[in-house]
Structure 1
Amino acid sequence: MRALRERWPRRRLILSLAGRTTAPVVPDAVEIRSGGFGGAAGLAAFLAAERIGLLLDATHPFAAGIARNAAKAADQANIARLKLLRPPWQPGPGDRWVEVSCLGDACDALPPGARPFLALGRQHLQPFTRRLDLLPLARMIEPPEPPLPDSWTLRLARPAPDAASEAQLMRTHGITHLVTRNAGGSASYAKVEAARTLALPVIMIARPPAPDGPVVATVDAMVEAVAGGSVG
């Protein structure tokens, strides 16, 4: 949104948030809307009512349901849509990845008695609670509901920006495995670098497929696509 505002200081911009974080980091000088729309039909109605001319889908790579609704709503409202989807991480030299397709498979991939670092967010922990032999460390921004089992360790924090801090966290808690989703990008990659440094296995959960339609990989490419009129 900051890049869009800098390029078009007077254009109306609406930032829609899912409302799952109580104190999100948001840019200045844009309209904020928080909460759901009631599915694709509700979003389409909002787009029509607000006379929106372009829908930019910058949702998380794992927000498959929201992305599908965005695609359907844009079609129903007969407006252009562009998906911003950063490339997934790729394993490199020294990485010990175990690639799985879902949270359940990630849980099953952990050996008995493992102490995994679950860098997944509070909405994705339930499958692991059935494994009473695990001693997980779970990091998230907001407290989980319901509370985690007593055998778990909870850390309320955002990801550290550097691998050294993430490695120290893993050493302090005796972590044996990192469990994470392949979100891509640089903001949360430090934990993957830290696991490589410590030679820890990484249970890497693959992304769901993206909806059909135009996709760009970077914010700069998104801005240029909008500026060049190539969206539609």
Structure 2
Amino acid sequence: MHVLILGGTAEARRLAESLAAGTRADLRVTSSLAGRVGAPRLPPGEVRVGGFGGAEGLARWLREHRADAFVDATHPFAGTVSANAAAAAAATGVPLLALRRPGWAPAEGDVWHETGSLEEAAGLLPSLGRRVFLTTGRLGLGAFAALEDLWFLVRSVDAPSAPAPARMEVLLDRGPFTLRGERELLRRHAVDVLVTKDSGGAATAPKLTAAREAGLPVVVVRRPPVPAGVPVVTGPEAAVHWLRERFGPGAFPHP
């Protein structure tokens, strides 16, 4: 049996760990990382780094490596990869599952402004604040480059590159983050508005609580939908269950 995991997330790594913990000797697990983050946390099993060359390249890889199933456990905003995965599944007949952590939901006291894109988020900012905590990652900063009157604190794992806001301080850090640390970050930098993508999960959620406590507006970029027809689960255990249901109870370890 050969399972490909399109990874780069904590959920993908946990799925690889669950499969590696099984006793089946002929279960082969390959995790694919995009290579956009320096020094990634590697999962167990085989690891490949880099793109496939679009949907056709992924389909070719699935055939050449005799994959029996693959799991799209990429970041919720990796829309192009997810679209390519769906197209490759349709072209090859290899079963595809999407693994997505649940999105965030506003709580009482939250002041959220939901948008469909980074560009739409940038358009809202001048009416909401002047000192922006931007946690959308190092890619896509060009959407905010024209906002010369605003100051940005940009947090990302790796250093961003141009185009980017002119008035910007970069904070290189990797979650999980603590509520105490997020409170202090907002206070120390006098942040008055937060911008984030709806990535979901607990690792970066404390910033939302800190913003709620401070009464700050939060601009939340909605995640793109999973391609039509692709089944979705919200955790690695459910992904293992899906594999067991499709290939039989003896094929994969119990979650």
Shorter-chain TM-score bucket reads over 0.9
Q: Which moved more, 1:138-147 or 1:95-104?
A: 138-147
Distance 2:46 2:231 in 1: 25
Q: Does 1:140 align with 2:156?
A: yes
Q: Which moved more, 1:109-118 or 1:127-136?
A: 109-118
Q: Classify the secondary structure of the residue corresponding to 2:104.
A: coil
Give the direction of change, closer, same or farther, for the CA distance of 1:56–1:157 in structure 2 (3 Å limit). Answer: same
Which amino acid is 2:231 matched to? Answer: P
Q: Which moved more, 1:189-198 or 1:109-118?
A: 109-118
Q: Does 1:95 align with 2:81?
A: no
Tell me the CA shift for residue 58 of structure 1: 0.2
Match of 2:240 among 209, 216, 223: 223
| Count of aligned residue pairs for this structure pair | 230
Which amino acid is 2:90 matched to? Answer: D
Q: Does 1:192 align with 2:192?
A: no
Q: Classify the secondary structure of the residue corresponding to 2:239.
A: helix
Whether the 8 Å contact between 2:132 and 2:150 is mirrored in structure 1 is yes
Distance 2:92 2:31 in 1: 18
Give the TM-score normalised by structure 1: 0.94
Instruction: Look up the match of 1:128.
Output: 144
Alignment of 1:41-190 (within 5 A): 41-111=56-126, 114-146=130-162, 148-190=164-206
Whether the 8 Å contact between 1:115 and 1:136 is mirrored in structure 2 is yes
Which amino acid is 2:156 matched to? Answer: M
Tell me the CA shift for residue 145 of structure 1: 1.7
Whether the 8 Å contact between 2:148 and 2:165 is mirrored in structure 1 is no
Give the direction of change, closer, same or farther, for the CA distance of 1:147–1:71 in structure 2 (3 Å limit). Answer: closer
Instruction: Look up the match of 1:31.
Output: 46
Tell me the CA shift for residue 147 of structure 1: 7.1
Which amino acid is 2:168 matched to? Answer: W
Distance 1:149 1:92 in 2: 31
Q: Does 1:205 align with 2:205?
A: no
Tell me the CA shift for residue 73 of structure 1: 0.6
Whether the 8 Å contact between 2:55 and 2:85 is mirrored in structure 1 is yes
Distance 1:9 1:197 in 2: 49
Tell me the CA shift for residue 206 of structure 1: 0.7
Whether the 8 Å contact between 1:40 and 1:70 is mirrored in structure 2 is yes
Distance 1:152 1:87 in 2: 31
1:169-219: CA deviation from partner (whole Å, max 9, x where unpaired): 111111011100011111211111111121111000111121021111111
Whether the 8 Å contact between 2:145 and 2:163 is mirrored in structure 1 is no
Q: Classify the secondary structure of the residue corresponding to 2:145.
A: helix
Q: Which moved more, 1:148-157 or 1:48-57?
A: 148-157
Whether the 8 Å contact between 1:160 and 1:166 is mirrored in structure 2 is no
Structure 1: give runs of 5+ residues left out of the alignment.
Answer: none
Q: Does 1:5 align with 2:20?
A: yes
Instruction: Look up the match of 2:252.
Output: none
Distance 2:117 2:38 in 1: 27
